Amino acid sequence: MKIVIVGGGISGLSLAYFLLRKEPGLDVEVLESASRPGGKIWTDRAEGYLCEWGVNGFLDNKPRTLELASMLGLAPVRSNDNARKRFIYSDDQLHKLPESPPEFFRSNLLSLRGRLRIIYEIFAPRGTADDETLMDFAVRRLGKEAYEKLIDPMASGIYAGDSSKLSLKSCFPRIDEIERKYGSLIRGMIKLQKEAKGTGKKVGSGPGGTLTTFDGGMHSLIDSLREQLGHRLKIDSEVSSIDRRDKNYGVFLGNGDEMKADILVLATPAHISSKILRQENKEISEMLDKIPYPAVSVACLGFSKEKIGLSLDGFGYLVPYKERRRILGTLWDSSIFPDRAPDGKVLLRTMVGGARASDIALQEDDKIVGDVMSELRAIMGINADPEFVRVYKHDLAIPQYNVGHQRIIASIHAIISKWRGFYLTGNAYRGISLNDCIENSYIWSEKILGLKEVG
């Protein structure tokens, strides 16, 4: 039985690895169109700096990723205490995000009225919409000010998204579940904490966990998977289309070659899967095209530490959309993880673009750097020129789980569930994080092997 996985990002690579780990004799092949595997996971090392092209790390709250790392012999590197100190830029200053209720009520990030409005959350009405935007939910439960200064920048930090379009139940299902079950986030958290008392488990509405990476950056994970897969991974192998047949699938490559697959997995971004499926099923192709991907660019800038007047004792900051700045936020990378910058230097990583401002991310590199430096001067008081510059562009960056996302996924599943041995996976469907991708790969590996056993 031939298993072909299209896409050599973390989803495709980890799926192949899990399959072979459980059954080493399987005939598995991974086809990657680019000249290197990893998708948006790539670590650039230059002039003593370590810059992440895409994902900066993962939270250590999901066991599957740590289990995979252990299998590969990779030791996790957890962020230091600075990573717990996070900031929001609002009203011309950086405000530390409160870490406890007393700190929250002492903070001037929200006005007194805004803080008191959050207490009213206990009495706020339940939502009636089946699929509510994050903005509508947050304003209804927490008030407009909390939405603008807390929830909206969180959404832009995770999804680079527009919270007036993002779906609550698709993006933050845990929060949606708590409201539906308990009627209030505050009441729900109190009850959950009582239930968890004595178990040692931490309870929260958010994901929790500690930001984690590996020695040498996130691409260490990709390098290890590539080494394990060996000849089974084929780079520079673009798939142009597929043909569904009675007992197998035809897989057609851009160079004219054809392969046959008994089990076929598309682990590519939704827009790529759409192109591959266009000839086979136009309806699925059109539904996949409804999952938008805004542009995001990342500017990594290195400075001499002595020229930075602001203390970088923290994770970094996010910028609410209402501030009308030209950046989404800046991570103080050299304060989060060790060995990100040479001695005496600091590395700042700034994100621009996203669903509300993709045009900014698509500018020329010099213009992006100019915009970023202008914002760093205004927000952080940095007047020195950077000694190190790297700009990484993602024309199609992060899939957006907008309202209606789950209906799209359900409609696609209703069709492909009738196709024996065909699967769609990746971060466009049920979770955008690296943890989600790896967990889904593990689940799919079990389903594929179960199909093989009955086939």
Lowest mean pLDDT among 72-86, 273-287, 374-388, 434-448: 72-86
Question: Quick one: which H or E segment has residue 47?
Answer: none
Residue ranges, CATH 3.50.50.60, the chain: 2-36+224-290+401-454
Task: Taking residues 81-86, report their average pLDDT.
Answer: 83
The predicted pLDDT at position 451 comes to 58
Q: Which CATH class is domain 294-394?
A: alpha beta
Residues 13, 434, 42, 165, Cα dihedral to 10°: 120
Cβ–Cβ under 8 Å, residues 349 and 330: yes
- Enumerate residues 6+ apart whose C-beta is below 8 A from 246: none
Cβ–Cβ under 8 Å, residues 301 and 385: no
**What tens digit of pLDDT does each residue of 232-261 get?**
999 999 999 999 998 899 999 999 999 999
Task: Taking residues 89-113, report their average pLDDT.
Answer: 90
Cβ–Cβ under 8 Å, residues 328 and 159: no
Grouping H, G, I as helix, E, B as strand and the rest as coil, residue 296 is: strand
pLDDT of 365 > 80? The answer is: yes
Residues 297, 306, 314, 118, Cα dihedral to 10°: -90
pLDDT of 391 > 80? The answer is: yes
Q: Which CATH class is domain 2-36+224-290+401-454?
A: alpha beta
How many percent of the chain have pLDDT more than 70? 96
The predicted pLDDT at position 207 comes to 55
Give the integer Cα–Cα distance in Å for 290 and 271.
9
Residue ranges, CATH 1.10.3110.10, the chain: 110-196
pLDDT of 426 > 80? The answer is: yes
The predicted pLDDT at position 450 comes to 87
Cβ–Cβ under 8 Å, residues 58 and 30: no
**What tens digit of pLDDT does each residue of 312-361 get?**
999 999 999 999 999 999 999 999 999 999 999 999 999 999 999 999 99
pLDDT of 115 > 60? The answer is: yes
The predicted pLDDT at position 113 comes to 94
DSSP class of residue 98?
A: P
Sheet holding 233-234, edge to edge: 233-234, 27-31, 2-6, 263-266, 422-424
**What tens digit of pLDDT does each residue of 38-48 get?**
999 999 999 99
Rg of the chain's alpha carbons, rounded to an integer? 23
Cβ–Cβ under 8 Å, residues 32 and 234: yes
Task: Taking residues 394-400, report their average pLDDT.
Answer: 96
pLDDT of 128 > 80? The answer is: yes
The predicted pLDDT at position 69 comes to 96
The predicted pLDDT at position 84 comes to 84
CATH of domain 110-196: 1.10.3110.10
DSSP class of residue 12?
A: H
pLDDT of 57 > 90? The answer is: yes
**What tens digit of pLDDT does each residue of 274-303 get?**
999 999 999 999 999 999 999 999 999 999
**What tens digit of pLDDT does each residue of 188-238 get?**
988 888 887 766 555 554 556 899 999 999 999 999 999 999 999 999 999
CB atoms within 10 A of CB 404: 13
Residue ranges, CATH 3.90.660.20, the chain: 294-394
Higher pLDDT, 52 or 201: 52
Lowest mean pLDDT among 83-92, 353-362, 428-437: 83-92
The predicted pLDDT at position 203 comes to 52
